[in-house]
Amino acid sequence: MPDLIIKPAATSGNKLILKDQAGGAVLTTADSGATIAGATIINTTGAITTTGAFTSVGIDDNADATAITIDSNEYVGIGTASNTTYPLHIQKDTDNFTAKIENDGNSTSSDGLWVDTRWNTATNTLLKVTTNSGATNVLYVKGDGKIGIGISNPGVGFANIAGTGTNVHTDGFMWNGGAASKYVAQFRNGSDPGWGLSVKLGISAPEPTDHYLDFLDDEGVIQCGFTGTSEADGGLAIQTAGIERMRNA
């Protein structure tokens, strides 16, 4: 049984007003509900609904839209009324960036964003960037460290085409260009004197079996290559069809 029952007359207006010593209303009840000034504690086993605007310091949405939803699986949706796929889903029609993560710490050790997965395999994806509502791949970072540009399944360290090419190491680089009469890549050094591209082998006095640079056809056959000469003071040889044709040593 309740300890106290207050039953006002059947008229409209305020039913019960509790005031503090200064005369300010602390609790005001009416036909449509109650107003509690200052700190509010709500303990209920039923649903809480409101027909008016809801204002709070942490979460506030006075518009006719869903601001934040959190379901029983602890999945959070911002700007979407239903999120059952991802732990966090932000959906917003905006002409600006959807999200910004900023560390305003005044220290040289202030870091930005850390993305981590438990497994380091090619089958799990650390980072995925797409356009066209997920239909076009832009960037994939796999759990084993491989990076795909425009592809979701890089076979080597850095690639924009699937597979491992012709004898490309899994930590290597593979790039495919599909435009006729266009270079696949270009490196420019605008300094004077300017140096272009350096190819370094991790051995001393490279031998003819050590290849600096090879030119392959689409079948993977070496048409021409620059190899070592076994000279300790340096040298360069040109091979075609596996036969040395020219040497500078």
Q: Where are the domains of the chain?
A: 1-40, 65-92, 125-174, 211-248
Element (H, E) at 243: strand 243-248
CA–CA separation, 43 and 41 (whole Å)? 7
pLDDT attached to residue 22: 83
**Residue ranges of the chain with pLDDT lower than 50?**
57-58
pLDDT attached to residue 82: 83
CA–CA separation, 219 and 205 (whole Å)? 30
Say if residues 225 and 239 touch (Cβ distance below 8 Å). yes
Which distant-in-sequence residues (6+ apart) come within 8 Å of 113 by Cβ? 101
For the whole model, what pTM was predicted? 0.68
How big is the chain, counted in residues?
249
φ, ψ dihedrals at 16, nearest 5°:
-150, 130
pLDDT attached to residue 147: 96
φ, ψ dihedrals at 230, nearest 5°:
70, 10
- From 46, 84, 35, 93, select the one nearest 65 (Cα to Cα): 93
pLDDT attached to residue 16: 73
Structure tokens at 28: 């005001």
- From 198, 199, 224, select the one nearest 212 (Cα to Cα): 199
Q: Residue 174 pairs with which residues in a beta bridge? A: 159
Q: For tokens 């592809």, what's the residue? A: 151
Say if residues 85 and 76 touch (Cβ distance below 8 Å). no
pLDDT attached to residue 15: 65
